[in-house]
Each structure stands twice: as C-alpha cells, then as structure tokens.
Amino acid sequence: MFGKLFTIAKNTTFETLRQPIYIIIIICALLLLLLAPAISMYTLDEDVKLLRELAFSTLFLAGLFISVFSAGGAVTEEIETGTITTVLSKPIPRPLFLLGKFAGLAFAATLAHYFLSIAMLMAIRHGVLERATDEPDWVVITAAAVVLLLTVFISALLNYFYEWHFSSTAVVLGTILGSAGLLFLAFVDRDWKVNPSQNGFHLFDINASVLLLFAVLITVALAVLFSTRLNIILTLLSCVSVFLLGLITDWLFGRLADKFLWAKIGYILVPNFQVFWVSDAIYENKQVPADYLLMGLYYAVLYISAILFIAIALFQNRQVGQNRQY
C-alpha cells in the first residue's frame, strides 16, 4: 500500500513541478520579494516591519495560488479528461489515490515555499535603504546573483545535454544552491567578515515562515477537496473565499460564537488563518515561541485530516468515467 502511495505522490510531484503555472508563480513571487526592500522605503519609521509584512504576504499568496492551480492540474484535469479511469482500474483504492495526490501536491508546495523563504530571508537580511547614505548589502546581492546565474546556467546545460525539464530542474537546483547561499550568509556579515553573530537573520522570520507553511498545507488540502467536485475556476474561487473568510473568522464568527449557534459552527468549520499570520507580532516586536509553533502544527494537522476525510467521502461517489462509476 505504501509503495502505491509513494508512486502516486512522486508522479504528482513531478507533474506539478513541470506545470508552467508553477514556475510562473514562483518567478512572480521572486520579483515581488526582490522589489519589497525598495517598496518598503517609503514609510516614515516602519520600513523593516513593512518589508516583513510584504514578504510574508508574498509567501502566503504564492502558496495559495500554487495549491489551487496544482490541484486543478493534478486532480480536476485527470477527472475531466478521463485519464483517472486508467489509474482507478488498477487495484488502487480511491482514498489511497487522493492521499497520494495530496502528498505529492503538499511536497511541491513545500518545496516552493522553502525556495521562496530563502529569497525572503535574503531580502530581509538586505533590509531597507532608509537614507541616501545607506550602502546596499553587497554580500547578499552577490550571493543571490551567484545562486541565480548558476541555477539558470546548470539547468540550461542539463536541459540541453540530458533533456531534463528546465523549470523543474531550476526549482530543485535553485533550492539546493539557495540553501548553500543562505548558509554562507549565516557566517558572513555585510562587511565580508566571518561574524555569525551579526549575520542579519532572525529566528522570528524563520518561525513565521514555518507557520505560513502550515497555512499553505491547509490550502492544499482545501484545493484537493474542491477539485474533486469542481473545475479549476470554481476551485480557485472556493479556495480564495475560504482564505478570505479564514482571515476574518475571529471578527466574523469568533466574537459571536458564545451567543449564536451558527457563529459557533462557522468558527469551527472555517480554518482560522489568523493563527498562522504574525502581523501583530511584527508591529508589537513580539517573538514566535516554540510552543506556539507546536500549537499551529497541531491545529493544521487536525484541519488537514478533517478536510481530507471530507474529500475522500465526496470522491467515493464521484463518477469518473462516461458510463462507469467506481
């Protein structure tokens, strides 16, 4: 059983990495992270805090769109084209198929999130040039440029000589080289001196990224749920709707949960994305403790489990052939 689950997850991951929309979203997010330090310089005294909020928002939205479009390509498209019947005609239970799809999509979304988190940490390390006399962090700029150039060059060579898929190779290779670049920056300060204590990285940013990853995985589960019954457009609208409701669920349902049953039910059903959003901590100079990360993980696991349970129940009665039901 685990072998079949791994095979489905692996194939789904490869298919997702090769989707053009996957690399397009990553490139757009990278451009936004690149521009974030310049955009943040126009505040009066909250430049770094605005930079963090822009960076976290970019991570969150990129994860949302990757989840929706990837799930549409991995689940909805297979159902609509009928290619899913080839898989389900084999001794593969429907729950196993859906769990494998989720695992593959979750891995692809996690890879993109980690890759973008590297870019986010570099952008925050560079910081905002608040005054005309401020010097750019040439260490970060050099490291990022080397990672980018090597990624494009090596991926192009592998594509030319071995016919490896360029975009998927670039994402994986960029993640590996980016990790090496991040490790280099962890030991070298902005004056090109080995000084780990002044590397410009903060545990707060790492913890915030981990929390956002939990939220992204919930959106992956939601995308899988909606894609079992809806087309990609309706899946996108449904996920965005739940996403927006999840950002205001405390105000919309939480404050009324003790008075009205409908509010209590809504507060339970709609995932509270404010749990994973640390905007208040940014402006109040608070930290994200380890026990809060564990609480976020527990919350995410419960919601993902419940969402996948509903998805499996809906998928059991889904007709996937022309005159055939499994």
Residues 259-306: pLDDT tens digits?
888 899 989 889 999 889 887 777 777 788 889 999 999 999 999 999
pLDDT at residue 176, as a whole number: 96
Q: Which domain holds residue 261?
A: 2-316
In sequence order, the β-bridge partners of residue 188 are 194
How many residues are given for the chain? 326
Task: Return the CA Rg of the chain.
Answer: 21
CB distance 77 to 23 below 8 Å: no
CB distance 52 to 205 below 8 Å: yes
CB distance 169 to 159 below 8 Å: yes
Q: What percent of the chain has pLDDT over 90?
A: 51
**Which two tokens mark 212?**
């956002």
Quote the CA–CA distance of 259 and 261 in Å, as a whole number. 7
Q: pLDDT-based confidence at 81, cuts 50/70/90?
A: low
Quote the CA–CA distance of 271 and 221 in Å, as a whole number. 12
Could you give the count of Cα atoms lying within 13 Å of 73 in the half-sphere of its Cβ?
20
| pLDDT value at 24 more than 50 | yes
Q: Structurally, how many domains does the chain consist of?
A: 1
Examine residue 325 and state whether it is found in any structural domain, yes or no: no
| pLDDT value at 189 more than 80 | yes
Bigger pLDDT: 172 vs 81: 172
| pLDDT value at 321 more than 60 | no
Examine residue 139 and state whether it is found in any structural domain, yes or no: yes
Examine residue 323 and state whether it is found in any structural domain, yes or no: no
Q: What is the pLDDT of residues 218-267, one digit of tens each?
A: 999 999 999 888 888 888 899 889 989 998 998 889 888 888 888 999 89
Which one-letter DSSP state was computed for residue 170?
H
Burial track 92-124 (b if 16+ CB lie within 10 A, e otherwise):
bebebbbbbbbbbbbbbbbbbbebbbbbbbbbb
Q: Percentage helix, strand, coil, to 5, in the chain?
A: 80, 0, 20
Quote the CA–CA distance of 212 and 82 in Å, as a whole number. 35
Examine residue 326 and state whether it is found in any structural domain, yes or no: no
φ/ψ of 188, rounded to 5, equals: -115, 130
